[in-house]
A and B are shown apart, each in its own frame.
Chain A
Amino acid sequence: MKPMITFLVRRLTTSALVVLISSFLMYFLVAIAVDPLSTLRASTMPTLAKQQQMAHLTAVLRLDEPIITRYFDWLKGASGCLYGQCNLGTNWKTHEAVTSMLSGAVVTTVQLVLLATVIAIVVGAAIGIISALRQYSGFDYSITFLSFLMYSLPVFWVAVMLKSFLAIDFNDFIQNGGQFSAGWIIGAALVTGLAVGAACGGGRARLLRIGGITAALVAALMLYSNVSDFFVRPSSGSPLDLIKVLLISVAIAFGVTTLSTGLRNRKALYTSLTVAAIGGGLYYPMLFFWNGVSGSWLLMIGLAVVSAAVGVGVGYAWGGTERSRSARTGAITAVLVAAVLFLDRLAQTWYDYTNSTWVHGRPIATSGDSTPNLAGSFWMHTTDLLTHIALPSITLVLVSMASYTRYVRASTLEVLNQDYIRTARAKGLTERTVIMRHAFRNALLPLASVVPVDILFILGGALITETVFGWSGMGHLFVQSLHEEILDPVMGYLLIVAILAPLANIVADVLYAVLDPRIRVDA
């Protein structure tokens, strides 16, 4: 523990120094980049008035003083943040304090960046592992090509494309009653069938079988969605919806058990099935419960923790020699089933949301981070958040996923060549155990050092997505202030990034040292 503390202290001290120096450099650069007088200079007002105004602005912004004295004044205000008296200056056009401008923007950006990062990691890592397991197959080559393509995508172009095609088309689709055409059904079924079949690997017969089943399933689901008007009213809390939730929960139970312990571990399977049944049993009580309380994110997180605890309890109740494993399976299933209940409740507001006076039947928003003046429950606002965050986060995921895929693929291939994998196979362990327990964890290890640093890259991408989608986040604030020649908000943004970057590096190092016993931190 002691070396860790020394390490942290030393790194934090050097990081503070880095923040100081980089903030000075950036202050200098921004100060020479922005020219608050430019609009005045270009204006056509009489020369005398112009000179007066310019002199006035110069005096207010102290443009005649050297940059370094202005920097130290700024630093004095900024260092107030250490003891709760932040003064990051003001926007000289609107006289709004930078701290109040930033406070809302930070939350908006964090939502976007976090969601995009989580999705990118989960999807990217999953694809990377599958791609590595099927090395040199058609699937692997296609994924390699796709990730090259994603590397080469300009963020702003993707954002504009999504905005103009995906959003408008989806909204048209909803407005026209949410019915899939025959062409769509066939196309979607073929593509998913082919992708899933190729991802499962094996010979041509297996590909055709799995692909065929998947394609049939997708087609059936889409037809069902047409018949039941799923996109108009996805759920209404009827017994039919209860059956749907139950079916999905059972599928989750089987899926989680397969990945976590294998279906042969009966106790684990029974645990997760019990959890699924409990979820189904709680369907109506929970609907009753939601009507009684006003929802909040804190409550949701609390409920997720409670459900995980229930899952653990069920696992221990089933007993057996491998109780802890059943408990783990139960907990994962419970959280996922709880998420399904949550989504179902959210789906019940969909109809009201799309047909509300604020939305007018076109749910996917192309600009802004929330519908102005939207009134309604927690569920209404959550749906609103999701419809607004969808496009920017898809954009960010598309451009940042490729690096995770490539990274996880490479590390999985390396791990699979290790001696302990050979040992595991030699012991006669099943392929699932070898992959999930021995390879998977070690393959994901390097991500611990990549993700914190990569978040910075996504933050840079957020600059563009926020601008295109009109999100009032930090990136948008930065771009707009830079355009309008206002120094202080720009410096506020840069200060946050300057603090985040070394922090991310420290987190990466510590995380790696905690996860990998071979790595020791030494300052």
Chain B
Amino acid sequence: MTNDLHPVDRPADHLENAIELKEVMGLSQGQIVRRRFLHHRGAIVGLIVLALVILLAYSSVGFSFLGLDVPGWWRWTITDLPDIVNSGDPSTVGGVIPWGIHPFGQDDVGHDVFAMVMKGTQTSIMVMIVVGVVAMVIGIVVGAISGYYRGWTDQALMRITDLFLTFPVIVVGAVLGKRFNEAPPWILAVVLGAILWMTLARLVRGEFLALREREFVDAARVSGARPARIIFKHILPNAMGVIIVQTTLLMSSAVLLETALSFLGFGINPPNVSLGWLVSNYQSAFSARPWLFWWPGLIIIILALCINFIGDGLRDAFDPRQKKVPSAKAMAKADSNAAAQTTPMFQRIVGFGRSKRGSSK
């Protein structure tokens, strides 16, 4: 069994602690977090893939920012209607790798699907960031005020939060999307941000309730700091871990929410392109042209998955109790050098401060 709970300290525990201690020795909190994050394989892979997707989406079909049009390197745009080549099938190298004139194929009018998907990806990324920022700001403000001031302010704000949680977000999103789907996409993103902040607000409130009782807050208060200063300078930095982690998770659900709404017709509509709209628009063609909704779906999954992995990595990095579990190989290697690495004094300290984690394989 892997879960035998042996009360006696075992060399494996010391090893883990030794590795951990070596990791944190003489480093600042920020450095520890950064190091741990960089050692989280899933998160790094997620980060790299996400960066590549963003780069591809924005460089290929170009974008316009503040009235400035940046052209892309891709030969088609979403408005081009080239002749249908090879009955719209994706052009590939060796039948597998998408490449050539229409790597993702063409739809029945001739639109290049690659250009459409890239434009939709841009929309998803924009929605993700705007929702993240809006929800984070609202969540922090509501949570901080309610956790710091407590009392009736807290009661009132938390009841409002509960009220927002009454309906599944997709239901409220559909009603609001119905109202705002003529507006530019960023307005819809702001609206979605305004209905996704609740869990964050609750978590921030919890953090504030705990942190405001700590000595350093008392010290700040005694030395005459005003509430705003205490909240932003003293408490907020300490709650940042929870906030960042929750915001990333929220961003991935924002991608899924926006595409789902666009799929239902309550989100982003033409002339703007959304991945959800592409799937919805092409779903009747799935038997003849499956590639039309393969790619949009795949991009949505890649975006959401990458962000979830980054969030997981951040959570592990920010959690002080989290220990990195060395692989079996690393453990065996460290085992052979165990005697040389761990001194008796060190063992005593580590043994004393051992965390409660029981299963240790």
* Among B220-228, B257-265, B343-351, the stretch in contact with A: B257-265
Which residues from B are CB-within-8-Å of A115? none
Within the assembled complex, what's the spacing in Å between the Cα atoms of A369 and B179? 30
Asked if B175 contacts A30 (CB within 8 A), the reply is yes
Asked if A417 contacts B356 (CB within 8 A), the reply is yes
Within the assembled complex, what's the spacing in Å between the Cα atoms of A478 and B171? 9
Which residues from A are CB-within-8-Å of B172? 26, 29
Please report the number of residue pairs spanning A and B whose Cβ atoms sit closer than 8 angstroms: 149
A483 within 8 Å of B (CB atoms): yes
- What are the interface flags for A139-181 relative to B under an 8 Å C-beta threshold, 1 for contact and 0 otherwise? 0000000001101111111001101100010000000000000
Given contacts A34-B178, A421-B5, 18 further A-B contacts (CB under 8 A): A22-B163, A29-B172, A29-B176, A29-B179, A135-B3, A151-B252, A152-B300, A152-B305, A156-B260, A157-B293, A417-B356, A463-B171, A482-B178, A494-B171, A497-B171, A498-B166, A498-B167, A501-B165
Minimal beta-carbon separation of B162 from chain A (angstroms): 7
Asked if A136 contacts B167 (CB within 8 A), the reply is no
24 CB-based A-B contacts, threshold 8 Å? A22-B163, A26-B167, A30-B175, A33-B179, A34-B178, A134-B2, A135-B359, A148-B305, A148-B308, A152-B301, A153-B301, A154-B259, A154-B297, A156-B276, A157-B279, A157-B301, A160-B293, A201-B2, A464-B260, A464-B264, A490-B175, A497-B167, A497-B171, A501-B166
| Consensus secondary structure, chain B interface | helix
Which residues from A are CB-within-8-Å of B175? 26, 29-30, 33, 482, 490
Partner of B286, one of A26, A160, A478, A497: A160
B280 within 8 Å of A (CB atoms): yes
Which residues from B are CB-within-8-Å of A460? 168-171
Residues A151 and B264 in contact in the complex (CB < 8 Å), given A137-B2, A416-B3, A497-B168: no
Interface size on B, residues (CB 8 A): 52
Report A28-79 residues with CB < 8 Å from chain B CB.
29-30, 32-34
Partner of B167, one of A153, A413, A494: A494
| Consensus secondary structure, chain A interface | helix
| Residue in chain A with minimal CB distance to B309 | A148
- Residues of A near any B CB (own CB < 8 A): 18, 21-22, 25-26, 29-30, 32-34, 133-137, 148-149, 151-157, 160-161, 163-164, 168, 201, 413, 416-417, 421-422, 425, 431, 456-457, 459-461, 463-464, 467-468, 478-479, 482-483, 490, 493-494, 497-498, 501-502
Asked if B312 contacts A148 (CB within 8 A), the reply is yes
Report B226-250 residues with CB < 8 Å from chain A CB.
none
| Residue in chain B with minimal CB distance to A483 | B265
Asked if B176 contacts A33 (CB within 8 A), the reply is yes
B266 within 8 Å of A (CB atoms): yes
Within the assembled complex, what's the spacing in Å between the Cα atoms of A38 and B276? 24
Which residues from B are CB-within-8-Å of A497? 166-168, 171
- Residues of B near any A CB (own CB < 8 A): 1-5, 7, 162-163, 165-172, 174-176, 178-179, 252, 256, 259-260, 263-266, 276, 279-280, 283, 286-287, 290, 293, 296-297, 300-301, 304-305, 308-309, 312, 325, 356-359, 361
Residues A154 and B276 in contact in the complex (CB < 8 Å), given A29-B176, A33-B175, A160-B293: yes
Asked if A154 contacts B5 (CB within 8 A), the reply is no
Within the assembled complex, what's the spacing in Å between the Cα atoms of A137 and B328? 10
Asked if A152 contacts B304 (CB within 8 A), the reply is yes
- The 8 A-B residue pairs with the shortest CB-CB distance, nearest first, are A460-B168, A152-B304, A157-B297, A33-B179, A164-B286, A152-B305, A417-B358, A33-B178
Asked if A416 contacts B358 (CB within 8 A), the reply is yes
Partner of B260, one of A18, A154, A422, A483: A154
Minimal beta-carbon separation of A321 from chain B (angstroms): 29
Which residues from A are CB-within-8-Å of B260? 154-156, 464
Which residues from B are CB-within-8-Å of A416? 3, 5, 358-359
Asked if A133 contacts B2 (CB within 8 A), the reply is yes
Which residues from A are CB-within-8-Å of B168? 456-457, 459-460, 463, 497
Asked if B171 contacts A18 (CB within 8 A), the reply is no
Among B7, B178, B259: residue with most chain A CB under 10 A: B178
Within the assembled complex, what's the spacing in Å between the Cα atoms of A46 and B99? 53
Minimal beta-carbon separation of A452 from chain B (angstroms): 13
Asked if A156 contacts B280 (CB within 8 A), the reply is yes
Which residues from A are CB-within-8-Å of B293? 157, 160
Asked if B170 contacts A464 (CB within 8 A), the reply is yes
Which residues from B are CB-within-8-Å of A467? 264
